[in-house]
């Protein structure tokens, strides 16, 4: 037999106190409001949460207006919550569900809110339940981050690169800023692997990645590992002169790591650099990749350990 208020004969006495005890035992923070938004009931979890977040102990919520609080809050999700509840009140929607951030100054937190009408009552009442979903959200964020990064080096992977380049391209168009793409391929890395083994090679790839990260400090920059010994750098608001200077510095910094490839060669880097102004060029971001690729080919052809720059 299902456990619900209409079947209180499964161990509950059926009186109001037992039902309140049941509501107070729930982890969900529950509030019941009427059609005007006036609060008629809050459970223990609700009161506790409010106290933990600065409300005075024993604050009486009854009579306060839930919808007005949502309307008056600055965050977009509070307005979204109020709109959803009003849709339920007007019968346009049966249930409303919302996941939203609710970060404190010291902790990241997310909550899920569900709202629906209370059935079987003469007076129109609506129940709203909030539950902390931080653990699940943090896990989701971790999975999302793993799917966007290279596990060996921690750099962005190709998927994140594609998203980032697309966004930077559009931002550069809007803000009339230049954009640079650098493609980097290590020189003699196969010999290094053959000579010192894959584990040592892995450690060297991590060292190279640290160098590349150190050149990407602004939010408009991204260092990425395409795979193997191939990397890419997206540099927002960077024209050809700064790009050329930076590419030279990157070559030097990687040569300075002093990674031996074999008895006669070192691991160095070749860079293909392509800079453009996305707002005026007739090209696409895919064209920019092709130009950087062709520049990289010429850097390799020119004897490695250097960069080749093209403006497009
Ligand atoms: N240690 C390690 N090696 C890798 C990894 N991925 C690819 N490689 C190796 O990286 C090497 C890249 O090959 P190439 O770029 O053709 O070799 P290279 O000696 O750098 O050639 P040039 O670019 O012409 O100088 C290959 O030996 C791959 O096996 C990895 O994750 N770890």
pLDDT, residue 105, reads: 79
For ligand 1, atom 11, the nearest C-alpha belongs to: 190
- Residues 178, 48 within the same domain: no
For ligand 1, atom 5, the nearest C-alpha belongs to: 228
Q: Identify whether the C-beta of residue 257 lies closer than 8 Å to the C-beta of residue 192.
A: no
The binding-site residues of ligand 1, defined as CB within 6 angstroms of any ligand atom, are: 152, 185-191, 193, 198, 201-202, 205, 228-229
Q: Does the model's pTM come out above 0.80? A: no
Q: Ligand 1 centre from 161 Cα, in Å?
A: 21
For ligand 1, atom 31, the nearest C-alpha belongs to: 228
Query: What's the Cα-to-Cα distance from 302 to each of 253, 259, 272, rounded to whole Å?
Result: 19, 21, 11
Structural domain total, the chain: 2
- Residues 189, 264 within the same domain: yes
Q: Ligand 1 centre from 201 Cα, in Å?
A: 9
- Residues 60, 159 within the same domain: no
Cβ neighbors of 284 (< 8 A, separation 6 or more) are 169
Q: Ligand 1 centre from 272 Cα, in Å?
A: 18
Q: Which of 229, 241, 262, 301 is catalytic?
A: 229
Asked if the interface predicted TM-score (ipTM) of this complex is over 0.85, the answer is yes
Q: Domain containing 125: what range?
A: 16-138
Distance of CA 136 to the CA centre of its chain: 14
The number of the ligand 1 atom at minimal distance from the alpha carbon of 199 is 1
Q: Ligand 1 centre from 228 Cα, in Å?
A: 5
> Ligand 1: which of 229, 230, 302, 305 to mutate, judged by most atoms within 8 Å of the beta carbon?
229
d(CA 209, CA 201) in angstroms, rounded, equals 12
Q: Is residue 43 in a domain?
A: yes
d(CA 186, CA 1) in angstroms, rounded, equals 69
- Residues 132, 159 within the same domain: no
pLDDT, residue 122, reads: 82
- Residues 295, 185 within the same domain: yes
Cβ neighbors of 3 (< 8 A, separation 6 or more) are 10, 12
Question: What phi and psi, each to the nearest 5 degrees, are found at residue 66?
Answer: -65, -45
Element (H, E) at 271: strand 268-276
- Residues 253, 220 within the same domain: yes
pLDDT, residue 17, reads: 85
Domain boundary among 119, 138, 157: 138
Distance of CA 160 to the CA centre of its chain: 11
Q: Is residue 9 in a domain?
A: no
pLDDT, block means (10 residues), the chain with 312 residues: 38 73 94 96 93 87 94 90 96 95 87 94 92 96 96 97 97 96 97 94 97 96 97 97 97 95 91 96 93 97 96 92
Nearest to 299 by CA among 262, 276, 274: 274
The number of the ligand 1 atom at minimal distance from the alpha carbon of 185 is 23
Cβ neighbors of 291 (< 8 A, separation 6 or more) are 274, 276, 283, 310, 312
Q: Tell me, yes or no, if 229 is annotated catalytic.
A: yes
For helices 158-175 and 285-301, what crossing angle results, to 10°? 110
Domain boundary among 90, 112, 138: 138
Q: Ligand 1 centre from 168 Cα, in Å?
A: 29
The number of the ligand 1 atom at minimal distance from the alpha carbon of 152 is 31
- Residues 229, 90 within the same domain: no
pLDDT, residue 214, reads: 97
The number of the ligand 1 atom at minimal distance from the alpha carbon of 202 is 1
Nearest to 238 by CA among 292, 287, 290, 163: 292
d(CA 277, CA 215) in angstroms, rounded, equals 21
For ligand 1, atom 29, the nearest C-alpha belongs to: 190
pLDDT, residue 18, reads: 87
Q: Ligand 1 centre from 248 Cα, in Å?
A: 22
């Amino acid at each position: 037999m299902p456990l619900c208020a209409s079947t209180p004969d499964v161990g509950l006495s059926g009186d109001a106190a037992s039902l309140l005890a049941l509501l107070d035992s729930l982890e969900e923070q529950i509030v019941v409001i009427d059609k005007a938004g006036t609060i008629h009931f809050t459970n223990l979890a609700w009161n506790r949460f409010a106290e933990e977040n600065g409300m005075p102990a024993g604050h009486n919520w009854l009579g306060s207006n839930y919808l007005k609080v949502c309307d008056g809050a600055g965050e977009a999700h509070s307005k979204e919550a109020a709109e959803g509840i009003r849709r339920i009140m007007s019968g346009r929607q049966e249930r409303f569900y919302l996941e939203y951030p609710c970060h404190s100054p010291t902790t990241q937190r997310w909550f899920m809110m569900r709202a629906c009408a209370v059935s079987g009552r003469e007076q129109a009442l609506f129940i709203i339940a909030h539950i902390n979903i931080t653990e699940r959200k943090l896990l989701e964020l971790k999975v999302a981050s793993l799917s966007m990064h290279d596990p060996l080096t921690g750099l962005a992977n190709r998927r994140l690169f594609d998203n980032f380049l697309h966004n930077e391209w559009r931002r550069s168009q809007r803000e009339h800023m230049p954009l640079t793409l650098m493609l980097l391929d290590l020189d003699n890395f196969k010999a290094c692997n053959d000579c010192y083994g894959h584990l040592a090679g892995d450690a060297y790839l991590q060292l190279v990645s640290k160098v590349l990260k150190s050149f990407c400090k602004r939010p408009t920059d991204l260092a990425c590992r395409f795979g193997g010994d191939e990397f890419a750098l997206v540099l927002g608001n960077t024209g050809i002169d700064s790009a050329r200077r930076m590419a030279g510095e990157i070559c030097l910094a990687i040569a300075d790591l002093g990674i031996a490839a074999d008895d006669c060669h070192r691991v160095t880097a070749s860079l293909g650099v392509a800079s453009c102004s996305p707002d005026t060029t007739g090209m696409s971001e895919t064209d920019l990749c092709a130009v950087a690729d062709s520049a990289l080919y010429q850097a390799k052809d020119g004897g490695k350990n250097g960069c080749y720059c093209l403006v497009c």
